[in-house]
Amino acid sequence: MNEERHHEYEPQDVEPLEHEADTMNDEKPTYPSRSEWRPKQEEHVRHKPRMNLKPLLLGGVGGFLGAALFFLAMMLWDSPTSRFVTNELIRTEQAVTVTESDITGAVTGAKTSVVSITNIQRAFTSESQWEAGAGSGVIYKVEGDTAYIVTNFHVIEEADEINVAFSDGQVASATILGEDPLNDLAVASVELPANIDVAPITLGDSTVLQAGETVMAIGNPLGVFSNSVTRGIVSGVERTVPVDTNSDGLMDYNAEVIQTDAAINPGNSGGALINIRGELVGINSMKIAEASVEGVGFSIPVNVALPVIDMLERDGKVTRPQLGVTIQEVIAVPGNVREEYGISFDNEDGVFVEAITPGSPAEEAGLRVGDVIIKIGDRDIKRYVDLRDALYRDATVGDNITIEYTRRGKAGETEATLTEAT
């Protein structure tokens, strides 16, 4: 885009983990109190002063039945049958409890698929080189002696060389196949060392994740602790987080992420977020979580990452549509420019067209410098990130889109056919 900007597991009879106790229903069966078994006394209105034996007889029978039921309840409370029912309820609750063995089993199955990555950069004027950064990656495919690794773009950004350290300590040099700064993803390939035993990670389904589900982040925390594991829960699914991909202070894209409280830091960024079955459900990203907040981490859902991974491996890039405009958010347009193009000072929404690429879809659609784009298709355009979403989420190359805009305060509408960004 030329848009420039200025199965099931067997339940085990074990005690629930301490931090999960609050997610379980620990209520025991309740039985009526002594007062609840006592029959209610009926109120009798005396109409005549003569004695009526019927209420006395009913009261006596009721009292006898109440006492009998009371003693029966006390016997049941302490009976073996009662204890059996209570234990059955506890076992039912434990069936949904995640055990320590579940966690260790999941990690054991996945950790050999997680690697440490070192970003090596060289000086322009000398042969010296240094480690510019460290992160993690995930082996998602193995073909013959070649392993394919997905990591974060920012982990390998500007690298002259990347080294991959496997779980057994062996190190090999890898080749970058493709990068996607927008999604903070990159793909690399590496020739496997002799006598190494690695397997691709099992791919999960991030669309079925639920808030509260146990997840683990595996990676290389702080660049020094290889194959470390942090545990947490899914705090939220289908979150969208504004991301500044080029550090210019403006949000470029609304990234779709999994929110988790499992610790994610620069070292385990690019590593795996796995579920209790050891399946990959996300690629951890510290870049998305730049505004670090305790207990808030983000991971790129595997179902979002896979199409990008396929394109990077096959084409070395991600194919996206372009409109062919250079824009600025209206809220940031200076007063003199507003006056020149007749933009109301009360207007803060929309994107201002600063320039149009010759021969682009925007030019062919009749857009002009000074127009304010306010809607594309069904999406309102208030900020730059909305335009990106309209093009990258809602459309693809070759689509015909409807554009609503204002020109010197007057509403206009046009259509454009999107072409592939170069």
Tell me the pLDDT tens digit for each residue of 349-406.
Answer: 999 999 999 999 999 999 999 999 999 999 999 998 899 899 998 999 999 999 999 9
- Quote the CA–CA distance of 291 and 183 in Å, as a whole number: 17
SS3 content of the chain, % helix, strand, coil (to 5): 25, 30, 40
Label residues 146-185 b or e (16+ Cβ within 10 Å = b): ebbbbbbbbbbbebeebbbbbbeeeebebebbbbbbbbbb
**Annotated catalytic residue within 167, 226, 269, 299:** 269
What is the SS3 string spanning 212-252?
CCEEEEEECHHHCCCCEEEEEEEEEEEEEEEECCCCCCCCC
Q: Under a CB-based contact definition with an 8 Å cutoff, are residues 269 and 228 in contact?
A: no
Integer Cα distance of 226 and 317 in angstroms: 30
Q: What was the pLDDT predicted at 61?
A: 47
For the question of residue 184 being annotated catalytic, the response is yes
Q: Take residue 326 and report the two structure tokens written for it.
A: 């250079």
21 by DSSP, 3-state: which?
A: helix
Residue 290 has a pLDDT of 54
The structure tokens listed for 194 are: 């002799």
Residue the block writes with tokens 């705090």: 235
The neighbour count for residue 16, using CB atoms within 10 Å, is 18
The pLDDT tens digits of the residues spanning 303-343 come to 999 999 999 999 999 999 999 999 999 999 999 999 999 99
Name the active-site residue from 102, 136, 154, 167. 154
pLDDT attached to residue 204:
96
176-212 confidence digits (pLDDT tens): 999 999 899 999 999 999 889 899 999 999 999 999 9
Element (H, E) at 284: strand 280-284
Tally the residues of the chain. Answer: 422
Under 8 Å between Cβ of 166 and 138:
no
Whether 408 contacts 368, CB under 8 Å = no
Evaluated on CA atoms 236, 239, 242, 247, the torsion sign reads: positive
Joined tokens for residue 1: 């885009």
The helix/strand/coil state of 192 is coil
Q: pLDDT at position 8, please?
A: 42
**Beta strand residue intervals within 111-225, DSSP E:** 114-122, 129-143, 146-151, 161-165, 171-180, 185-191, 214-219
Question: At 10, is the secondary structure helix, strand, or coil?
Answer: coil
Half-sphere exposure of 133 (CA within 13 A, CB side): 18
Task: Please tell me whether residue 379 adopts helix, strand or coil conformation.
Answer: strand
Catalytic residue among 180, 184, 371, 386: 184
Rg, the chain, Cα only: 32
Give pTM, 2 decimals.
Answer: 0.69
